[in-house]
Copies of this chain bind each other. A is one copy, B any other.
């Protein structure tokens, strides 16, 4: 990866942020502002949190692509970051990311008969309009996982063994274009993520393990999350956040392993606090090769 993207010196260039849910768009905005960007938020109605109004902003509804373009033009933004999640509140547990989770194109294609590469298509669309589409990790590299443990807890030897097996499994899944995460407990693959997303996979793991629940049972097993080979990291970088930590804790896992340099961490301080509170590790691993 080359150095972080930043505004050309001497100018106050406009960076548009097409914002879905979670605090991630705010984190990107704060980081970009600190680097000298002039930020304009374009919040997806019903998805982006109200706090985006701290910045110059425009609200759009899902699909109002023309309004997005008009706002970018009006606010003189030549670059764009697409980040955050999109939920369908009428359908329980279904949540997919506009900018960070890979399920949107799949779900659209499978369920609505849309294009297979909606996010890739969105990028191409904006690029064809003369915009530069940046990944959140380019604008705000401090949001990306680094090597090592985030909080107080580090993986034990047992967890390291589950991490190694999980990495092998997730890489194999990725090579088959299946998914980017799995739960491994004592060498066993308990759950594999395909289109349902990481939160749903963790909820399933929790239900499976509740069966054998004992009070005082120690945490066992890991969630491993890595990008797929060739994944479009500009709009589709794997992400974890406090909810991932809560889900892993509820599932009785010992921790979370993510690919250093290739996974975004939303609300890092909340992630660390949750991990420390539950006694979980959150570790960036070298997932190359």
Contacts and interface: CB of A to CB of B under 8 A. Distances in A.
A contact residues, range: 35 or more
Given A106-B188, A110-B188, A92 B177 contact: no
B189 A176 contact: yes
Given A192-B194, A204-B200, A176 B186 contact: no
Contacts of A233: none
Nearest to A108: B212
Given A92-B207, A93-B207, A207-B93, A189 B194 contact: yes
Interface in A193-227: 193-196, 200, 204, 207-213, 220-221
A177 to B, nearest CB: 7
Nearest to A178: B189
Contacts of A110: 185-186, 188, 190, 208-209, 212, 220-221
Given A179-B192, A200-B204, 13 more contacts: A91-B207, A94-B207, A106-B190, A107-B208, A110-B185, A110-B188, A111-B211, A168-B176, A173-B192, A178-B192, A182-B194, A190-B195, A191-B195
30 contacts: A88-B211, A91-B210, A91-B211, A92-B207, A94-B211, A106-B190, A107-B208, A107-B211, A107-B212, A108-B212, A110-B209, A110-B221, A111-B213, A113-B212, A169-B178, A172-B176, A178-B182, A179-B192, A182-B194, A183-B194, A188-B195, A190-B194, A190-B195, A191-B194, A191-B196, A192-B194, A195-B208, A196-B204, A196-B208, A200-B204
